[in-house]
């Protein structure tokens, strides 16, 4: 699955970050500079948005 321009809103700092297709698919974790560490498929933990 390839999703171009995928972004997430960090639940910790509310900042936006770009993610790759493996992060969107939940295969690898998402890490924010603020220290948040999670996965895309943990329910509502990470909001993904297409830019």
What is the tens place of the pLDDT at every residue in 1-51?
445 567 788 888 888 888 878 877 777 777 888 888 876 665 444 554 444
pTM for the complete prediction?
Answer: 0.50
Where do the domains of the chain lie? 1-35
Query: In the numeric block, which tokens belong to residue 10?
Result: 């960090």
Residues whose CB falls within 8 Å of the CB of residue 14, separated by 6 or more in sequence, listed in order:
none
What is the tens place of the pLDDT at every residue in 24-35?
777 777 788 888
The answer to whether residues 48 and 6 touch, using CB atoms and an 8 Å cutoff, is yes
The answer to whether residues 19 and 48 touch, using CB atoms and an 8 Å cutoff, is yes
């Amino acid at each position: 699955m390839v999703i171009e321009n995928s972004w997430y809103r960090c639940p910790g700092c509310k900042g936006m970050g770009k993610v790759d297709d493996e992060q969107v698919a939940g295969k690898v974790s998402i890490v924010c500079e603020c220290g948040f560490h999670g996965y895309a498929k943990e329910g509502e933990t990470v909001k993904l948005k297409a830019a």
